[in-house]
Amino acid sequence: MTQVASHLFDNLKDLDAISLLHLLKVCAYSDKTMSFRPTYANLTTVEDKIMYTLPDYLKADISVAVVSFFKLDYNPIKIINELNQMFKLSIFNKD
């Protein structure tokens, strides 16, 4: 698993939204001693890729990425800031 995950992180440009979310989830929820732990640079690259195609990740459930980032001890500040801006622009009807 470690070699596969490492290879996938080295080739992020080839992954679609669903595959990238699954990769993050597997790394975040796997046993720390037995799995690949992405570097800060890897996670920054993933966050940049998510921001570049944010609508695809919103359709696929962005919460998976955010929770996985936190479990990997990474604060996805760009994503959180963008989600906060979207929330501020949203109009909610109170019935």
**Tens-place pLDDT, residues 31-81:** 877 678 899 999 999 999 999 999 988 888 899 999 999 999 999 999 999
Q: Are 46 and 20 in contact (CB under 8 A)?
A: yes
Query: What residues have CB less than 8 Å from 34, skipping those under 6 apart?
Result: 1, 2
Quote the tokens at residue 88: 């501020």
Residue 95 pLDDT greater than 60, yes or no: no
Rounded distance between C-alpha atoms, residue 94 and residue 71, angstroms: 34
Residues 6 or more apart in contact with residue 56 via CB below 8 angstroms:
16, 17
Between these two residues, 37 and 91, which has the higher pLDDT value? 37
Residues 6+ apart with CB under 8 A from 25: 64, 68
**pTM listed for this prediction:** 0.82
